[in-house]
């Protein structure tokens, strides 16, 4: 076996080892994503906000239930919390209309902005 064969084999082993490490890291990332999404859904359910979907207003608990259903059915469409917000929690998959949220006597805002803000606060409060 010449030197190039040795280098190729060594690189192959390194690639295999690296892919195994990535595969082992994935469940932690999945767990973090699920915890963050759980937090987002709990935040909307526990809020004084009205969830506006396709022009109709829904109570916070109903919004949470709807988003949980979309979360389960649409799992193949997101691989991160940001993608969940963008692809699942921010617009109707039927009409394409953006969801909106109005909290208390405040103005309506895009649901994507609201969820992104809640996620940022959650991450900022998380221990490092």
pLDDT tens digits, one per residue of 2-53: 654 443 454 444 443 443 433 343 446 999 999 999 999 999 999 999 999 9
* Alpha carbon 87 to its chain's center: 9
Domain ranges in the chain are: 28-125
Q: Would you say 19 and 25 are in contact if contact means Cβ atoms under 8 Å apart?
A: no
Query: What is residue 66's predicted lDDT score, i.e. its pLDDT?
Result: 97
The pTM score is: 0.77
Q: What is the mean pLDDT of the chain?
A: 85
- Span 109-123, mean pLDDT? 98
Segments of the chain assigned E as strands: 49-53, 56-58, 100-103, 108-110
Query: What is residue 14's predicted lDDT score, i.e. its pLDDT?
Result: 44
């Amino acid at each position: 076996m010449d030197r190039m064969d040795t280098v190729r084999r060594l690189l192959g082993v390194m690639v295999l080892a690296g892919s195994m490490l990535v595969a082992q890291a994935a469940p932690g990332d999945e767990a973090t994503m699920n915890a963050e999404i759980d937090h987002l859904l709990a935040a909307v359910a526990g809020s004084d906000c009205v969830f506006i979907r396709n022009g109709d207003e829904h109570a916070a608990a109903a919004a949470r239930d709807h988003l949980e259903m979309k979360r389960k059915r649409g799992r193949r469409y997101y691989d991160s919390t940001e993608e969940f917000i963008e692809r699942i929690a921010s617009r109707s998959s039927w009409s394409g209309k953006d969801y909106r949220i109005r909290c208390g006597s405040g103005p309506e805002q895009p649901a994507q902005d609201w969820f992104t803000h809640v996620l940022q606060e959650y991450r900022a409060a998380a221990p490092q």
